[in-house]
Amino acid sequence: MHELIRQLLAELGEDPSREGLLNTPARVAKALKFLTSGYDANIDDVVNGALFTVDYSEMVIVKDIDFYSMCEHHLLPFFGKCHVAYIPTDKVIGLSKIPRIVDVFSRRLQVQERLTNQIADTIRDIIRPLGVAVVVEATHLCMSMRGVEKQNSFAVTSAMVGVFRDQVRTRMEFLELIKLRSVVSATRDSASTSLACMAED
């Protein structure tokens, strides 16, 4: 990867051999490896058996999970907060595991909509709850730095599964708890394509 980055610097009009850039290829390679380390992560290893049987059927919420990801269209960061809720049937997952699941999917080249769905689908598959809700709020540097549709560089996506999709009251309760009433009508089917970074630009 080092040689590719050296070539890229030259293509951009830089002198890769000047002092300040000498170690840049190594640093960029290391940073990119970390930012895409989600490809090597295995969900079973991450969860590591932290599933517990409970007699509890109230909503479990983990909100304001910080995440950092890279837009697959421009290789520029998008980042923000992720909010996750689920209603268990008979199993719960260790609370600290949810931010780690978010990391697995955010540390890849992504689009915000897919990231949102992957988090929801993974939690659904692991604990088979009555429902899962995921809301992601993010700023896209590919839009704000380039001045493209500045007003929309903040995007909100959601995935509502099971009771969160079928029951308005449950969905409202979740959105109320994360103070995001504006996504009321959003379900996994509606909030797609035009919201986040646009591939054509």
List, in sequence order, every residue forming a beta bridge with 109; answer none if it has no partner: 70
- Applying CB under 5 A, which part among 4-12, 73-81, 162-170, 176-184 lies near Zn ion? 73-81
Smallest CA-to-CA distance from 141 within 87, 68, 45 is with 68
CB 196 within 8 A of CB 158: no
Residue 171 lies near Zn ion (rule: CB under 5 A): no
Nearer to Zn ion, 155 or 159 (CB): 155
Residue 74 lies near Zn ion (rule: CB under 5 A): yes
Phi, psi of 174 (to 5 degrees): -65, -50
Residue selected from 5, 71, 84, 132 as contacting Zn ion according to rule CB under 5 A: 71
Length of the chain: 201
Residue selected from 60, 101, 142, 178 as contacting Zn ion according to rule CB under 5 A: 142
Residue 197 lies near Zn ion (rule: CB under 5 A): yes
Count of residues interacting with Zn ion (CB under 5 A): 5
Q: 188 is written with which tokens?
A: 């996994």
Closest distance of CB 32 from Zn ion, Å: 16
CB 142 within 8 A of CB 79: no
- Applying CB under 5 A, which part among 52-60, 89-97, 134-142, 167-175 lies near Zn ion? 134-142
- Applying CB under 5 A, which part among 33-41, 61-69, 107-115, 136-144 lies near Zn ion? 136-144
* β-pairing verdict for 109-110 and 131-140: unpaired
Q: So which residues are the catalytic ones?
A: 71-74, 112, 140, 142
Residue 196 lies near Zn ion (rule: CB under 5 A): no
Residue 112 lies near Zn ion (rule: CB under 5 A): no
Instruction: Specify the DSSP element, H or E, that contains 173.
Output: helix 168-177
Q: 60 is written with which tokens?
A: 């479990």
CB 124 within 8 A of CB 132: yes
By CB under 5 A, name the binding residues for Zn ion.
Answer: 71, 73-74, 142, 197
